[in-house]
Copies of this chain bind each other. A is one copy, B any other.
Amino acid sequence: MTSEENNLKADLRFFFMSPCEKYRARCQLPWKLCLQLLKIVLVTTQLVLFGLSNHLVASFKEENSLAFKHLFLKGFQGAREDGNSFAVYNRQDVYDSMFYAINQYLQLHNVTVGNYGYVQDENNLTALTVCKQLYVKSPPVPSENVNRSIIDSRIETVSLVFLLYCIGFFRLVQIEISFRLKGIDLQAFQYNELPDCYEFLITITFDNTVHSGIIKIFLDSDAAIQECNDWDISDSLSKSSHYILIFDVFIMLICLMSLILCTRSIILAISLQKRFASFFLRKYNFNVCLSDRLEFLNGWYIMIIISDTMTITGSIMKMEITVKNLTTYDICSILLGTSTLFVWVGVIRYLGYFQKYNVLILTMGVAFPKVLRFCCCAGIIYLGYTFCGWIVLGPYHAKFENLSTVAECLFSLVNGDDMFATFAELQEKSNLLWLFSRLYLYSFISLFIYMILSLFIALIQDTYETIKKYQEHGFPQTDLYTFLNDSTEIPNISRYV
């Protein structure tokens, strides 16, 4: 055995060791592992802190939006439980609702219990605008005996400032009342934080696009966060935000370190793999197969790299949000959330070093491609049912209204949820549809629950038994492991960490 071969073997063996074995072999502290564990604690703490302050902002917006609905919509009594929107059905109610909204706006300071203020433009005028969209020409009234009327699908927009003439309902497409209000989130005081100032853009839409005798009313409040410029802030308030920024920077440094270490490991792995492949080619005139090459590429490292990149990006965004430069809470929370998920999933890797946990993790790993492959088959039938249900039942039932809800409804049915409710909703239509819906639901549910879910269990069980047999009688050997195992020398020199 040449010295080159011995060196290679020593390096390879060290490379495929678990942290415990490395520790035993070289008494080297597994500080990459420690770094990861520290990261879990830090990243989770950061997430919880961000989440708590985020929830305050969200609930403030939510409550203001609800308060506006109660203030400006006449007869509003809370969101409808059946998902229908707030609507009016006759002309008097349309006029009443409009005047009510405008009136409430005008006497806002006497009415509201919130801290709102008008937004004034450069001319010191408050900016309530009423704006209606009409068909340019009146479409033909169905009952009139006109001989030939010309249909014209163009729409014009007329803006009214504080004057409401008679609305031509035949031509009307929609009316929009919009105005701006200022607000301040005083609640932040109690958490020793800087209060945010808000500018709400409130839009009340009377929607008649369908022309079906219903005018739906939507109130939309868009909140923009602004810095409260003109105020002196007591010292204690500003200090607490400094600590948070420092903490974020610290997390970024930890993640950067972890990122660098993992990248280094991957680069070393690739170079080792090349060395191994060229050695094999030279000695045995034999190309190392792909699966052996992939053994070198540790999937966990890739996951850690992705997770670290997300944490760093997220932390930068979080800092920008803290100092009120950005308001993209959603993207930041998706970045931080996903990275935390990955960090936690990464813990499983360390559990896999224990023998007893290993069976389960190996089973999941081996069964995963099989399950995916089977999901693929089942998914095709599923897609067929989705399209079929959408086209036939869609026009009559809310649950089948668009493709995504059909997919969700079927997914719930497969997992045994919401079955009777779905049956009940598909009740009171024509006989043909009733029959179709029964055939559709019974066949779908039976097929998926009795055949496909059972097959999943069979798949997993088969894999579990295979893995257990392997653990008792040895795994099938690849070239790499055959090469590694036919020498017994303990490596003492290695460049790999």
Least CB distance, A368 to chain B, in whole angstroms: 7
Task: Say whether A343 faces chain B, with CB atoms less than 8 Å apart.
Answer: yes
Contact B170 A143 (CB under 8 A): no
Contact B456 A230 (CB under 8 A): no
Interface size on A, residues (CB 8 A): 173
Contact B110 A153 (CB under 8 A): no
Contact A395 B54 (CB under 8 A): yes
Contact A66 B436 (CB under 8 A): no
Least CB distance, A471 to chain B, in whole angstroms: 12
Task: Say whether A164 faces chain B, with CB atoms less than 8 Å apart.
Answer: no
Task: Say whether A306 faces chain B, with CB atoms less than 8 Å apart.
Answer: no
A209-B187 in contact given A344-B384, A345-B384, A389-B337 (Cβ < 8 Å): yes
**Which of B79, B213, B357 makes the CB contact (< 8 A) with A112?**
B213
Give residues of chain A (381-398) contacting chain B, Cβ–Cβ below 8 Å: 381, 383-385, 387-392, 394-396
Q: In whole angstroms, how far apart are the Cα atoms of A189 and B152 in the complex?
A: 8
Considering the complex, give the chain B residue whose CB is closest to the CB of A467. B458
Contact A142 B182 (CB under 8 A): yes
Contact A141 B117 (CB under 8 A): yes
Chain B residue numbers with a CB within 8 Å of A375 are 446, 450
Q: List 28 A-B contacts (CB under 8 A).
A: A59-B210, A63-B213, A64-B212, A70-B90, A90-B113, A91-B111, A113-B208, A114-B213, A142-B181, A150-B234, A153-B189, A184-B211, A185-B211, A190-B209, A333-B395, A337-B389, A340-B391, A341-B388, A348-B381, A356-B373, A399-B420, A405-B424, A408-B423, A409-B420, A411-B423, A415-B416, A415-B449, A455-B460
